[in-house]
Amino acid sequence: MKNMIVSPSILVCDYLHLEQELQKIKDVGCSWIHLDVMDGHFVPNISFGNIFFEKLFKNIDFVKDVHLMVTNPMSFVKKFAKTGADYLTFHYEACKDDDEVDAVIDEIHKNKMKAGLSVKPGTPIEKVYPFLEKLDLVLVMSVEPGAGGQKFIPETLDRISALIDEIVETRSKALISVDGGINDITGKDCLNIGADVLVAGNYLFSADNFKERYDSLFK
């Protein structure tokens, strides 16, 4: 199995004991953390904002993997650059056309972050192909975005496979990240096809033993 990155999503962690939850991530040797931003418009729910992250990031030493589920992503780029985000991923569906997608990618790079592009399960994976040479990450949603605890959509594996073929063809250096319904079975399926990053939330944080669950993704 290839080397992989696990990016634990704190969307479903215990916020009243956030310091302890972050310590769990650190203790298993994980270097990434995934943070979901939901505005109540692009998706029904509302989550964290840039001010929260700006304070949080001052006290953590992870690769900060921020996923914007918002309308008008361009208006959020500078705000999240200020927080210290490392990767900033936005949704193809949040843009009116390909020119806007291009512009947001350029703005993310201009603000010294790595650019990620995400697509919902119902959006053809081919929509990201024109941008692969500029992207640092493609986030393939394996559930409908906006809520944790959903079941993995099996057709996601075909989408990952097609994306990998295009990445090889274009010699893109973009990482493939998969988000939604990740566990010890679906995670291995994604990795065996060629995904690079697993975003896991409920599977990790609902466990009595975080380390056992984390280790199971590697076995």
Question: Is 179 one of the annotated active-site residues of the chain?
Answer: yes
Cross-strand pairs, 9: 34
CA distance 8 to 177: 12
Tokens of 171: 């010699």
Helix (H) or strand (E) holding 114: strand 114-119
CA distance 207 to 204: 6
Catalytic residue (choose from 36, 39, 65, 136) = 36
CA distance 85 to 82: 8
**Closest CA relative to residue 66, chosen from 49, 88, 43:** 88
Tokens of 166: 């295009």
Tokens of 198: 């697993």
Catalytic residue (choose from 39, 136, 179, 196) = 179
Tokens of 161: 């496979």
Dihedral sign for Cα atoms in the order 69, 23, 80, 97: negative
The answer to whether 79 touches 50, Cβ cutoff 8 Å, is yes
User: Which residues carry out catalysis?
Assistant: 36, 179
